[in-house]
Chains A and B, each alone.
Chain A
Amino acid sequence: AQTVTQSQPEMSVQEAETVTLSCTYDTSENNYYLFWYKQPPSRQMILVIRQEAYKQQNATENRFSVNFQKAAKSFSLKISDSQLGDTAMYFCAFMKRVVRTGTYKYIFGTGTRLKVLA
């Protein structure tokens, strides 16, 4: 079974600084996707960034980038120039295709609560 581990329950960072959130996962699959989602106090899940496992290049979205180490099964999120609006819960998620049903299944980590300090 796949598992996703986020070892940092809480983190804080000063505004404009850089912070890295860690995520490791366990799977025997070769084809899968990895995501980082942000859940602000409104509790609306917002996609931050996604990575296809077959791509070696690390995904980047503006101030957000990942360090994807497939062999180590590691998928960390780096937030540069942190802003107050980045304060939220961040979930790492693993997704694979379920062959039997043809659908995709997400498995979420336990989350990291990030607080950006003014």
Chain B
Amino acid sequence: GAVVSQHPSWVICKSGTSVKIECRSLDFQATTMFWYRQFPKQSLMLMATSNEGSKATYEQGVEKDKFLINHASLTLSTLTVTSAHPEDSSFYICSATVAGGSEQYFGPGTRLTVT
């Protein structure tokens, strides 16, 4: 149980275009989802926290207009990188928790390459 999927697993896009990454909880309802960014050989940095049906809470230094997060249902959150640039190339990981739960269940990640 507690499986989280991400789609796509790898995406290449051209500079200036937008790309959407989906995060789904497959066998549970996720009231809260988290989006992380991980550069090569570095730690996970929390970008934002999203609760179903409400606006995401962004961490300091994360541009909310560039990284659009939508948590439309209890099983789906999306991260859209708008007007992507090469410096946005990174590994993006989502995680989810159940209502009142403390443990986060992680997705397998999405590798974004902006050319």
Contact (Cβ within 8 A) A43 B43:
no
Contact (Cβ within 8 A) B91 A106:
no
B82 smallest CB distance to A (angstroms): 24
Contact (Cβ within 8 A) A95 B102:
yes
- Distance of A45 Cα from B45 Cα, bound (Å): 14
Q: A111 contacts which of B43, B57, B93, B109 (Cβ < 8 Å)?
A: B43
Q: A104 contacts which of B38, B43, B104 (Cβ < 8 Å)?
A: B104
The digit string for B58-91, where 1 denotes a CB below 8 A from any CB of A, is 0000000000000000000000000000000001
**Considering only CB atoms and an 8 Å cut-off, how many residues of chain B contact the other chain?**
23
Q: Which residues of chain A (73-116) have a CB below 8 Å from chain B?
A: 91, 95, 97, 101, 103-111, 113
Contact (Cβ within 8 A) B43 A47:
no
Complex: chain B residue closest to A42, CB-CB: B108
- Counting chain A CB atoms within 10 Å of each CB, the highest count among B45, B51, B102, B109 belongs to B102
A44 at the interface (CB under 8 A from B): yes
Q: Which residues of chain A (36-63) have a CB below 8 Å from chain B?
A: 42-45, 47, 50
Contact (Cβ within 8 A) B46 A106:
yes
**Considering only CB atoms and an 8 Å cut-off, how many residues of chain A contact the other chain?**
21
Contact (Cβ within 8 A) B34 A106:
yes
B97 at the interface (CB under 8 A from A): yes
A64 at the interface (CB under 8 A from B): no
Residues of B with C-beta under 8 A to A106? 34, 44, 46, 104
Contact (Cβ within 8 A) A103 B51:
yes
A6 smallest CB distance to B (angstroms): 9
Give the 8 A-B CB pairs with smallest separation, nearest first: A45-B106, A108-B43, A103-B32, A108-B44, A110-B43, A44-B108, A43-B109, A104-B102
A-B contact pairs, 14 of them (CB 8 A): A45-B93, A95-B104, A97-B102, A101-B51, A103-B32, A103-B97, A104-B101, A104-B102, A106-B44, A107-B46, A108-B43, A108-B44, A110-B42, A111-B43
* Chain B contact residues, CB within 8 Å of chain A: 32, 34, 38, 41-46, 49, 51, 57, 91, 93, 95, 97, 101-104, 106, 108-109
Besides A104-B104, A108-B45, 4 other A-B contacts (C-beta < 8 A): A43-B91, A43-B93, A44-B106, A91-B44
